[in-house]
Every structure is written in structure tokens, then in C-alpha cells.
Structure 1
Amino acid sequence: MNRLTLPGLAFAATLASCGSQPADVRQTGAGPQLPAQNETLIPPMKIAKPVAWGDARPTVPAGYTITAFATDLKVPRQMLVLPNGDLLVAEGKGGHAPLLRPKDVIAGYIKGLGTTSVKGGDRLTLLRDADGDGRPELRSVLIDKLDAPYGLALVGGDLYVAEQGALKRFAYQTGATRITTPGQLVTTLPARINHHWTKSLAASADGSKLYVGIGSNSNVGERGLEVEEDRAVVWEIDRATGAHRTIATGIRNPTALAIEPTTRALWSVVNERDELGARLVPDYLTAVKDGAFYGWPYSYWGRNVDPRVRPQRPDLVARATVPDYALGSHVAALGLSFATQGGMGAYREGAFVGEHGSWNRQDLAGYKVAWIPFANGRPAGQPQDVVTGFIGPDGKARGRPVGVLFDPRTKALFVADDLSNTVWRVSPAPAPRG
């Protein structure tokens, strides 16, 4: 592998930042504007330097309040509310993909500047707020010695954990604070190379099936298409047998899955490809349609061909499914949760989306939690900012959202922040006392 010194990396990154930026275009909703492709040797890169929150905290709209529900975690990712109200947090880091090109080294260096130095916990931490005051009285490691846990689901007494290479089932009893019995293997999950290591997870509305999102092994096939077998897909897994079938393909990195409550359809947020310019390609939110091909790596947003891929597959491009809703290019959507049971104040019907934030464009994108309004089970309107302030006035990053989770019983929204290793809690502000 080519070796670059840190000064060399810095110089290359500086060169990458010198490219002119196109004028902003509307890239959210059902019909995003897609500018001309702008492939460069090294894409423009910028990462917000991490700093501590100090006395600051994220910003929420008037009428809401935000507090740190838990701090000093070990890289929190996705979350799950248990039947008694306990909050379960998956903590971990994964991935072991080798670097192929000098620009991969540069990109890795730049991205690394915006991550926590804390080692992933490889565990599930349980947080219990029994009195409902928004502060957990109990904190316990429910399960440890996991391998980069990410997706979580509970069906009856079965707790499912999607590690980077396996889906496991643990026996759970309501109120438990510790599980020491080893998990049972439901099925192995594709783990070769693991360019995208996260394995998102959701249970079907009736609990009979599990869905796992599996990301691609490359940006756009540069490792060879033979290593993309069973990658960039969504699996449907039979809970009883562990047998799986692929229900969606060409879906580059489905980082979070959730069931839309009105239609009970499966939805996903998806991270799209890089290195075609700051305004390409929009990440998206979409219903996961059985049998659909979403374009990767041959095309994007339907039939927009990516010329970098060899060989081309016009037969697949011709039947590529257009996603439902663009979130913007490089926002890095990692969290998805639907409002249920009346929602939270003004946020009654729709989806909360956690946007981890960009690294490969000069004007930062993402770094917030957005609200996508729905009507009759479909997106209906432009996104609205719900939680912002992760980038401070100085341009430095205090946090980066990952998983989001709405709890209908407490009318609270939880946000996992894997930069400050915090779980934030958003709730309607209490009414003023008379």
C-alpha cells in the first residue's frame, strides 16, 4: 500500500478543499435536483473538529427541552425501549476493510478527525428512569462481550442483537438488568471485508419476520463486484427457522430500518455513494419494496447512470426503483424512528431521522435530527429541523447524531450521539406554573 505521511495527508486534504463549490440546490423531497457529475481525483473534504459540549447543549424548537439522559457511554449507536420503559443502548465500533488507494488513506484520515477516541463498548447498556423525571436512576450493562452490536429488536421474550457478523437471540425477562446466558445464533451475517459494517434491524409488525440491512463492501464497486455478494441488500429472516431471503438489492447502505405505523410497511434510511461531487448523490428515506432494485452501483436515484462501474448493466438500470424521499447529499442518515400514538406535540405523523453529518464536502451537511412529515403513510412536505446545534458557532463539532428513538409512553425522543458519547432526551417543555 502507498504510504503517506501526516503532512502529506494534510497537503492532499488542502488540495481537496480548494475545489469550487456549486451553488446550493434543492435536494430534499420526492424530486431532488441532481446536478452534473463532478468526479475528482480527491473529493473536497472537510470534517468539523470535535470539542466538548461544556455548558452548551443541542438546540430544540420552542416548546421543547433537551437534557443529557446518559453520558460517558462507549460509542452509542442504536437504541430500543423495553416493555417496562427501560432504554437499551448498543455501543460499539466495527469494520476492518483494508485501504485500497492513496485517496482512501486520505479519506480515512479526514473522517478519523471527526470521531471519538473512546473505544467501542461492544455491549448493551440499560438505562432505567423509574420515576419518569428524565434522569435514569439505574445504569447496568445488560449484555457484554459482543462484536460491534448495532441493530436491536424485541419480539415477546426474545431480544435480537445484530452484530457485525451475526444475528443473535437472547432470552429476556421484563425488568432484567443483566443477561449472562450466551446468545443463540439465528444466522450469520455477511462480514467479509465489512467496508460498511453496521447491520440494521427491525421486526415485522406481526413479529414473524426480522429484517436486516446490510451495506456494500465499497463506495461503488472498486473492490470488485465479486465481494458484493449479499451486500447492499435487505434480508427478510424467518424468526422460527433463521432462513433468509433477499427482499431488496442495490440499496447501498441501509443504516436504519423501521416499521411505518399506518401502513406497517418497512422503511429505511440509506447512505448513497461518494466522489461524484458535493451535491451528489442524495442520501434517502424509502419504503423497502419487495423485489426492488435501488440502483447501486450501476445507477442512482432511478436511472442516473454511474459511469465508473465496469461492466455496465443497462438491464438492471432499466428497472431501478426511484427512492421515495431525498434527504440531501452526504448527510449520512443513520437513525430512523416513526412517531406513534399521537407523537410528540407538533410532531404527530412522520419520521425522525438522525443525520450523522458529512465529511466530503466543504459546506457541512447533516449534523442534526430532522423531521419528515407524513400523511396516510407517505412523506408529505419538506424536512424540518428538530435537534440542531451539534456544530457550534465556531464551526467545531460538539456531537454527531446516530440512532433516534421515539418513546410513545413518555412522549420523548432519544438521540444517540457517538462523538460526545451521550444519549440526549428531547421532550415537550413542562407547562409554566400558574
Structure 2
Amino acid sequence: MRKILKYAGIALVLLIIAGGIAYYVLSRPDMARFSTAELSGRVPVMATQRPESFPTMNVPEATKWPAGEAPRAAAGLTVARFAEGLDHPRSMLVLPNGDVLVAEAQSPPRDSSGIENKVMGSLMSKAGAGGKSANRITLLRDADGDGKAEVRTAYITGLNSPYGMALIGKTLYVANTDAIIAFPYVEGETKMSGKPAKLVDLPAKGTNRHWTKSLAASPNGWLYVGVGADSNIGEKGMGNEVRRASVLEVRPENKYVRTFAAGIRNPVGLAFYPGSKQLWTVVNERDMLGSDLVPDYMTDVDEGDFYGWPWYYWGGYIDPRVPPEEEDRRQYVKRPDYALGAHVAPLGFTFTEGLNLGERWANGALIALHGSWNREPVSGYDVVFVKFGANGKPVDALPVPFLDQFLAKDGKTTRGRPADVKVAKDGSALIADDTGNTIWRVSKAG
């Protein structure tokens, strides 16, 4: 009996050691082989797939900006606080009179049961998210032109995780996580006096993993909505992805909704190229193929475009983790225009029409990179500029740093995270910092 117990004990120890080794092998961070620069541009490096059983988890802890400190602006520019003390400012809309609307919002309540949900909740908390949503749109006004918003009012309250905003004529559209609602807009009001009317419902069932619903108004008065997937690669079933991972078209005059383009995992920022009918978006791609895959990207979007999610990425590379679809559409997968780097998490972006910061920043796009949670080393946590050519496409050059050092020098903490960028009426750039609870204003130095 003693020998049996002895051998059983040895076997148990060996089993524990083997389990520990297996866990280490499966869960250790996947180290990037390429830099963000190599994974960016019109022709990025397309790395070898390294599927992960457990995601690489490398989340810098969110802290606050020390007094007197700010992000670093590019040479020739200066940065200052336009507004502070906000509650998780996300997307912005600059109104014709110069007022700035800011959506203060976080994810709607989520299921916290189960290991996956608990882990994601812990990561969100560490990253400075996951709190109770303010569910508010705030109006900021710089009436005296000194570069600071001395007027701040609760413009619309009682919303449901609002994100996208668009003004068409005298109607202000707001995209809650589950519906677009319309308000009568009166210029100069500091509080919405009109009553809301629901325009259309938006996909919000399931886990609502990607809850943001961005909006862009087209020249003809139609709305375009960015709707993210409810999963990483459709692992919960494609029946849960109806009208998700798509850009939807909404026609307000008759409340008609259709899928405009599909296979786009999480199209957050939307904007029309100045003076044209060409829609552009920035996209958060899939996870757990390694620290170098898949590049997040910026691309134009046309009617009927299919970008491959979840079966393919970057113009036709096959994701081996996804069961093949019945109809092979690989030949129809559209390749993105421009890579921004792996896991950089682009959120809001704007074209630089009206920006008065010098010729260097003309004819291009400013993109807020919210930052990675699953890459070693981390990527993003800055605002970059992508130059466009006369053909209305990005030129063959790398992104240019515009505003950085949201990430502390130790790489383990953040003072803030850029979530959106817009051009103010006076030609400066406004950057929403959602964990720093600040709107930064970038202007010419001196």
C-alpha cells in the first residue's frame, strides 16, 4: 500500500508539473517579431500565423495625467487642455457654430458570469473602462476664443451608451448602442429642448461585444453606421452576426436599412473624403493569431464590398480557425487600402480639411489609436497622420506621429487613451482622451 501511495504521489506531482508546463506554453505572451512600422502602410509585412489558445494579455494600467503634464505634440505644434473632468469622452461632433458635442459613454451592462467574461471585465477595469456609463452628450463652447471651453452643459441625458452623432439640416441623429434616435436641432441651444424620435433599431443582442455604433452623414443626406462583430471570429455562431461586422446604410426619409458593406470586423470611425461621395472607415481586426496579426486598417468602402471576416483577412489570407463557408468567396475579398499596425485599435478619425496647422498636415487623415491589450510589446496609444495623394488615396509612406506619449515611458501605465479626433472651427485639432477624461487641443506653436 505504501508503494502504491508513493507512486500515486509521484504521479500526482508529475501531473501537476506537466500541467504547469502546458499552461505556461499555452499562456505565455506571444512576442512580436515585427515593429508597428513594418506592419503599417500600403504594403505591410504579412506575418506568419501563430494561433493562440490563450490571448496574449499585456494591458497597461490606466492612471491619470499628473498636474502640468500632457501628451507630446509633433514639432511646430503645441497641446493644451480644451476641457477636462469629463466622464469617459468618446466620439465628438463639431457643430456649424463651433460648439462641440461629446458623447460620454461606456459599454452597456454585460454578463459578468463565466471565466471569459470575468477575464474581460478585469482587463477592461485595468485599462480604465468598464464603469457605469454616463449615457450623456455634453456640449462644450469656447465663446471667448481662448482655446478653452468655458461653457459645459449636459446637452442630452438618459441615452443608452451613445456613440455616433451626425447633423443633417435641422436634425441631430444620435446612435445609441441599440438604435438611432433623432432630435430637432436648434443652433445655439445649450440643452436639447426637443423630444427624441426613434429612427431605426440597431443590432445589440447577444454579448454586444463591440457596442459602439458610429455615424457618418453622406452628401445626399443618408446615414452610414459602423457595426462591429459580436465575437472575434464568429465563434458564437454566424446567426448572432446578422447585420454585424458591417457598414449599414440608413435612409431617414423612409427608415430603410440595408447592409452596405460586410466582412468588416469592427468598423469604428467613419468619414467621407472631402468634396466626394467616397466613404472611408478605420477597422479593428481579429485577435489571437499572434502579436503581428492581423493589421488594423483604413480603407474606402463601396456598395457591396466584402472584406472577408471571419473567413479571410487582408484580401484573401485564410483564417484556419474558422470553418470554411459553403460558398467560397475568397476571390471577392477586397484588400484594405492602408494598414495601421497590429492591434493598435483605431477608433475615431477625421480628414484634415479645415485644419490650420501647416501644409505638412494637409490632405490626409488624423487617426486616434486607442492602443493594444493583447500585444507584446504594446502598440498604438497615439494619434497618427496618414497622408493622401491627389487621387484621394493614402500615399506610399508610413503614418506620421501627431500626438503621443499617452503611454508612460515604462510602457506599463497609461495617462490617457485617444478615442477620437476632430477639426475645430478655428482650425485646431481636438482629441478625446477617454481614460484621461480630457479633450486636448492641438494648435500651432507660438
TM-score of the superposition, structure 1-length normalised?
0.92
- For residues 14 and 363 of structure 1, do their structure 2 counterparts lie closer, same or farther at Cα, with a shift above 3 Å needed? farther
CA distance in 2 between counterparts of 1:230 and 1:374 reads 31
1:29 paired with 2:41, answer yes
* RMSD over equivalenced CA pairs, Å: 2.0
- For residues 133 and 233 of structure 1, do their structure 2 counterparts lie closer, same or farther at Cα, with a shift above 3 Å needed? same
Query: Which of 51, 56, 60 lines up with 1:48 in the alignment?
Result: 60
CA distance in 2 between counterparts of 1:146 and 1:374 reads 37
Describe the SS at the equivalent of 1:227: helix
Q: Deviations over 1:92-134 (max 9, x none)?
A: 1124554797455434423431114753210110011011110
Q: 2:186 maps to which residue? A: 173
Report the alpha carbon displacement of residue 263 of structure 1 after superposing the two structures with TM: 3.1
Q: 1:250 maps to which residue? A: 263
1:16 paired with 2:27, answer yes
Q: Deviations over 1:41-73 (max 9, x none)?
A: 112211111222112100001211111111111
Q: Which amino acid aligns with 1:79?
A: M
Report the alpha carbon displacement of residue 312 of structure 1 after superposing the two structures with TM: 3.3
Alignment of 1:32-431 (within 5 A): 32-54=44-66, 55-96=68-109, 98=111, 102-103=115-116, 105-116=118-129, 119-193=132-206, 194-206=208-220, 208-313=221-326, 315-341=328-354, 343-345=356-358, 346-376=360-390, 377-380=392-395, 381-395=397-411, 396-407=413-424, 409-430=425-446
Q: Over alpha carbons, which structure has the higher Rg?
A: 2
Describe the SS at the equivalent of 1:315: coil
- For residues 27 and 131 of structure 1, do their structure 2 counterparts lie closer, same or farther at Cα, with a shift above 3 Å needed? same
Q: Does the 8 Å CA contact 1:343/1:349 hold for their aligned counterparts? A: no
Q: Which amino acid aligns with 2:225?
A: V
Q: Which amino acid aligns with 1:371?
A: F
- For residues 117 and 421 of structure 1, do their structure 2 counterparts lie closer, same or farther at Cα, with a shift above 3 Å needed? farther
- For residues 36 and 117 of structure 1, do their structure 2 counterparts lie closer, same or farther at Cα, with a shift above 3 Å needed? closer
Q: 2:5 maps to which residue? A: none
Report the alpha carbon displacement of residue 213 of structure 1 after superposing the two structures with TM: 0.7
Q: Does the 8 Å CA contact 1:172/1:179 hold for their aligned counterparts? A: yes
Report the alpha carbon displacement of residue 265 of structure 1 after superposing the two structures with TM: 0.8
Q: Which amino acid aligns with 1:59?
A: R
Q: Deviations over 1:272-315 (max 9, x none)?
A: 00000000000000101110100000000011011111243562
Q: Does the 8 Å CA contact 1:414/1:426 hold for their aligned counterparts? A: yes
Describe the SS at the equivalent of 1:293: coil
Q: Does the 8 Å CA contact 1:95/1:195 hold for their aligned counterparts? A: no
Report the alpha carbon displacement of residue 18 of structure 1 after superposing the two structures with TM: 4.3
Q: Which amino acid aligns with 1:410?
A: D
Q: Which amino acid aligns with 1:35?
A: A
Q: Does the 8 Å CA contact 1:400/1:418 hold for their aligned counterparts? A: yes
Q: Deviations over 1:185-234 (max 9, x none)?
A: 1111111121111001000023x211001110100011111101111111
Q: Does the 8 Å CA contact 1:338/1:350 hold for their aligned counterparts? A: yes
CA distance in 1 between counterparts of 2:382 and 2:309 reads 26
Structure 2: state its 5+ residue gaps. 1-22
Q: Does the 8 Å CA contact 2:106/2:131 hold for their aligned counterparts? A: no
CA distance in 2 between counterparts of 1:159 and 1:392 reads 38
Q: 1:7 maps to which residue? A: none
Structure 1: state its 5+ residue gaps. 1-11
CA distance in 2 between counterparts of 1:312 and 1:372 reads 35
- For residues 20 and 384 of structure 1, do their structure 2 counterparts lie closer, same or farther at Cα, with a shift above 3 Å needed? closer
Q: Deviations over 1:133-171 (max 9, x none)?
A: 101121111110000010011111111100000001100
TM-score of the superposition, structure 2-length normalised?
0.89
CA distance in 1 between counterparts of 2:148 and 2:418 reads 20
Report the alpha carbon displacement of residue 180 of structure 1 after superposing the two structures with TM: 3.9
Count of matched residue pairs: 418
Describe the SS at the equivalent of 1:318: helix
Report the alpha carbon displacement of residue 244 of structure 1 after superposing the two structures with TM: 1.4
CA distance in 2 between counterparts of 1:400 and 1:217 reads 23
CA distance in 2 between counterparts of 1:216 and 1:244 reads 18
